Amino acid sequence: MTGSTGEAARKRLFIRTWGCQMNVYDSARMADVLAPLGYAPAETAEAADMVILNTCHIREKAADKLFSELGRLRVAKQAREAAGGGLVLAVAGCVAQAEGAEIAARAPWVDIILGPQTYHRLPEMVARASRAAGAVIETDFPVEQKFDHLPEQAASQGVTAFLTVQEGCDKFCSFCVVPYTRGAEYSRPAAAVLAEARRLVAAGAREVTLLGQNVNAWHGASPGGGSWGLGRLLREMAEIPGLLRLRYTTSHPRDMDADLIAAHRDLPSVMPYLHLPVQSGSDRVLAAMNRGHTADDFRRVVDRLREAQPGLALSSDFIVGHPGETEADFAATMALIDQVGFAMAYSFKYSARPGTPAAGAPGQVAEAVKDARLQALQALLRDQQDAFNRSRVGLTFPVLFTGPGRHPGQIMGRSPWLQPVHLLGDRSLIGRVAPARVLAAHANSLSGTLAAGEDDHPGPPRASLRAEEPAPA
């Protein structure tokens, strides 16, 4: 992660981040709050004076991965101390929140354990750790909002940037730990979000992705009193000069209101790509998950979105093997995937999270059954992703160029549908939007060539966005 301290920098900071984009954002802000203490970025943990492991509790075996990394860092910490130096070791994020006491017991060489709501206190924790015997543990949910205590100055995130607008969750899905590790839903005030967005643009961002555990549940206090929904926030952000593209993630089907759907129709800067987790296509499983919607509710939301923006591409999340899932339930999920069509998706086997309702539910599905279902589901999703990528071949559309490619003379960017696009071009295009013609589709990216006319565009032309548009012969 990055953090600039100028000539005063004498110490090095390395942050390893697991999990979602919100963790990436949190890691960047941790670097920002530590910059005044003289911490500048290190390339490796071995070169650092402080290492932060920013954890995620969503993925399977998250704690196992953490303790494996802590074992490796223990050796590095001992070697540093034997040489007369020191290494401050911190564990942050959702695993720290949920399992702080166990981390302190199993890895007593960890200096700081902090939850995702307390990283604004890191400078104080570092000072306390230098005096304390044993770990400094901060895993409460403080009354003050951390966003009110973060520095306004932040290191540049580059051409594309993340901006957290909402945290926490009130949905209490049966399988999920987020309400317990991130707390209740909180929406940042609109003025604070807009101010941070303007700072990101001033630092070079041309695309901003709004983040939240349930981002479309955002209802922030408005500058004139009352509150706005996410659709209104997007409309205000679309007026920021230099901000060319807008995205948001992760959304819940229950919170896709009419104004937000209309924003996809009305705002060219809102990209035609949406991550909308459904988890299952079975109403029985969705009820057991406490999702609060049916499969047909999801289909109706998708229909409304595609009516508003015919070129919309969807990604989603799927869990197979939730307790009680039958072959008929799994078949309903496969049918929903086949009917809706997804450009990309994340899929997982159900794994129990301690303290969640599903962990102790009857009807736990055998691992071999979950394995077989996951393989079948991922094969279908892979076919859909490949088909969507191939449908882009022959099309010309605006690409936001984000950096150099892997090969000499190559630059890379993002399509409106978030696909990486590689082509030959001058680095002066980085930070700009220019039309590109796609020549080939790959498993996870596209390649092509610059098209005629390289003027900046605020967003994709509507005529070229239809997912069903065939590639020219």
Domain boundary among 388, 412, 429: 388
Which pLDDT value is given to residue 450?
Answer: 95
Q: Is 170 annotated as a binding residue?
A: no
β-pair partners for 54: 17, 92
Q: Is 242 annotated as a binding residue?
A: no
Q: Is 260 annotated as a binding residue?
A: no
Instruction: Confirm whether 409 is domain-assigned.
Output: yes
List of residues 6+ apart from 9 with CB closer than 8 A: 38, 39, 40
Instruction: Confirm whether 182 is domain-assigned.
Output: yes
The string of pLDDT tens digits covering residues 199-238 is 999 999 999 999 998 999 999 999 988 999 999 999 999 9
Residue 152 has pLDDT above 70, yes or no: no
Domain boundary among 138, 168, 198: 138
Residue 428 in tokens: 């002066």
Rounded CA-CA distance 352/370 in Å is: 13
Instruction: Confirm whether 473 is domain-assigned.
Output: no
The DSSP H or E segment spanning 82 is helix 62-82
State how many domains the chain has. Answer: 3
Average pLDDT, the chain: 88
The string of pLDDT tens digits covering residues 362-375 is 999 999 999 999 99
Residue 454 has pLDDT above 50, yes or no: no
Question: Both 84 and 209 in a single domain?
Answer: no
Question: Both 369 and 398 in a single domain?
Answer: no
Percentage above 90 pLDDT, the chain: 64
β-pair partners for 440: 447
Residue 432 has pLDDT above 80, yes or no: yes
Instruction: Confirm whether 157 is domain-assigned.
Output: yes
List of residues 6+ apart from 426 with CB closer than 8 A: 411
Which pLDDT value is given to residue 149?
Answer: 58
Q: Which residue blocks in 176-257 are alpha helix, DSSP H?
A: 178-181, 190-202, 230-237
CATH number, position 346:
3.80.30.20
CATH number, position 115:
3.40.50.12160
Question: Both 92 and 22 in a single domain?
Answer: yes
The string of pLDDT tens digits covering residues 262-300 is 999 999 999 999 999 999 999 999 999 999 999 999 999
The closest alpha carbon to 276, from 326, 311, 314, belongs to 314
Going by pLDDT thresholds of 50, 70 and 90, the confidence category of residue 146 is low
**Contact present, 172 and 214 (Cβ < 8 Å):** no
Question: Both 357 and 315 in a single domain?
Answer: yes
Which pLDDT value is given to residue 8?
Answer: 42
CATH number, position 404:
2.40.50.140
Instruction: Confirm whether 470 is domain-assigned.
Output: no
What pTM did the predictor assign? Answer: 0.78
List of E strands, 333-425: 344-349, 396-404, 410-414, 420-424
Residue 473 has pLDDT above 70, yes or no: no
Question: Both 291 and 372 in a single domain?
Answer: yes
Question: Both 127 and 255 in a single domain?
Answer: no
Which pLDDT value is given to residue 112?
Answer: 92
Q: Is 56 annotated as a binding residue?
A: yes
The string of pLDDT tens digits covering residues 88-111 is 999 998 888 888 888 999 999 999
Instruction: Confirm whether 292 is domain-assigned.
Output: yes
Backbone angles phi, psi at 262, to 5 degrees: -65, -30
Rounded CA-CA distance 184/178 in Å is: 9
State the DSSP code for 409.
T
Instruction: Confirm whether 471 is domain-assigned.
Output: no
Question: Both 115 and 179 in a single domain?
Answer: no
Domain boundary among 138, 161, 180: 138
Question: Both 164 and 18 in a single domain?
Answer: no
**Contact present, 179 and 167 (Cβ < 8 Å):** no
Instruction: Confirm whether 240 is domain-assigned.
Output: yes
Beta-strand pair 273-275/396-404: unpaired
Q: Tell me the residue range of the domain where 102 lies.
A: 6-138
Rounded CA-CA distance 207/414 in Å is: 10
